Amino acid sequence: MTVVEATAVEADGDYRVPALLRGLRVLELFDAKRRLLTLQEIAEGLGGSTSSVYRIVMTLTELGYLERQSRTGYGLGIKVVSQGFAYLASRDLVDIAQPHLERLRDVTSLSCHLGIRDRTEVVYLYRAMASQRLTVNVPVGTRLPCTRTALGRVLLSGLDAEALSALYQHERLDDQPPPAPRTLPELLRLVEQDRRQGWVLHRSDYSTAIATGIRDHRDQLVAALNVSGPDAVMDAAATREWGGALLAETAARIATELGHRPHADARRSD
C-alpha cells in the first residue's frame, strides 16, 4: 500500500474520539456573552443530559480548562481564553506584562511580581527585581498559599463567596501564621473587603507588598501584580500611595492589551 493509499484509507475511516469532541464542544459553548454556564446549560448546549456531560465537565475542571465559579456555575479556566485553547489569546501573559513590570520597577525602584492562581496557591510567573541592596526577590515558579500573599488575596477576590467556600472547604486555615486568616468566615470577610477595595497590602518577613488584579477581555480576573519592598521603604505613606497609583496604572495598561474594556458605568463620573 502506498502512502497515498494509506492516507485515503485513514481519511475514509472515523478516527475521532467522541469524548474528546464533546469536551472541546463544551469549551466552545463559552463566549463573550456566555461567560458562566450551569451544568444544565452545558448539557442543553451539547444536546444531552446532565448525567452524560457531568464526567466531562469534572475532567475539564480538574485539568484547569474549566473553573467552578459559583455553586452551580462554571467558567473558562486559566488554560483557556477566547473560545479556544491559546492561553490569554494568541499572546502569552508574560510577554505582554514583562515590559510594563520592568517599567514599573524602573520608576519605583521596587521589585515587581506577576502571578496567577492555581486553586489555593499563587504561582509566580515573572519578577522584575529592584537594583537596591535591600529588595524582595521571589523566584519564578514559586508557589505560595494565596491567603499569605498580597498577590494571592487579590486573586481570591475574583471568586464569589460560594466558590471561595467550596475551594477552602477541606483546607486547614487554623495553622496559618498572622496576619493570614485562620477561619473560613474570617477569610470570606477579608476577601470581600479586598474585593471592594480593589487592592491588597500585605506585610510578611520584614517586607510589604501592594497588589492589584489584571482583567482580560471577558472582564475576568486572570492575574495579579505587585510592588514590594522592605518595610523601611514601604512604611512611608507617600511611598505606598504613589506606588499604589502607579501599580493601578500598570495593571490597566496590561489589561488593555489583553482586550479588557472598562464598563460604561465605571467610566462615567457622576
pLDDT of 159-205, one tens digit each? 999 999 999 988 888 888 877 888 999 999 999 999 998 999 888 77
Is the confidence at residue 48, as pLDDT, over 70? yes
Instruction: State which of 24, 45, 76 marks the end of a domain.
Output: 76
* Long-range interactions of 23-29: CB distance < 8 A, separation 24+: 23/56, 23/59, 23/60, 23/65, 26/53, 26/56, 26/57, 26/60, 26/66, 27/60, 27/65, 27/66, 27/76, 27/80, 27/83, 27/84, 27/85, 28/83
Parent domain of 214: 93-262
Q: What cell was used for 27?
A: 469549551
Is the confidence at residue 84, as pLDDT, over 50? no
- CATH number reported for the structural domain that contains residue 55 in this entry: 1.10.10.10
Summarised one tens digit per residue, pLDDT across range 200-249 is 988 877 788 899 999 988 888 999 999 988 887 787 788 778 888 999 99
For the whole model, what pTM was predicted?
0.65
Residue 1: predicted pLDDT: 46
Same domain, 72 and 97: no
Residue 75: predicted pLDDT: 87
Is the confidence at residue 61, as pLDDT, over 70? yes
Same domain, 55 and 158: no
**Phi-psi sector, 206: left (phi>0), alpha (psi -120 to 50), beta:** left
Q: Please name the residue ranges forming H helices in 47-173.
A: 50-63, 93-108, 150-156, 161-167
- pLDDT confidence of 15, banded at 50, 70, 90? confident
Same domain, 110 and 215: yes
In the predicted model, what is the mean pLDDT of residues 18-26?
Answer: 88
Residues 6+ apart with CB under 8 A from 156: 117, 146, 147, 164, 187, 191, 194
Instruction: State which of 76, 101, 125 marks the end of a domain.
Output: 76
The reply to whether 270 falls in a domain is no
The reply to whether 81 falls in a domain is no
Residue 88: predicted pLDDT: 42
Radius of gyration of the chain (CA): 21
Summarised one tens digit per residue, pLDDT across range 140-163 is 888 999 999 999 999 999 999 999
The reply to whether 39 falls in a domain is yes
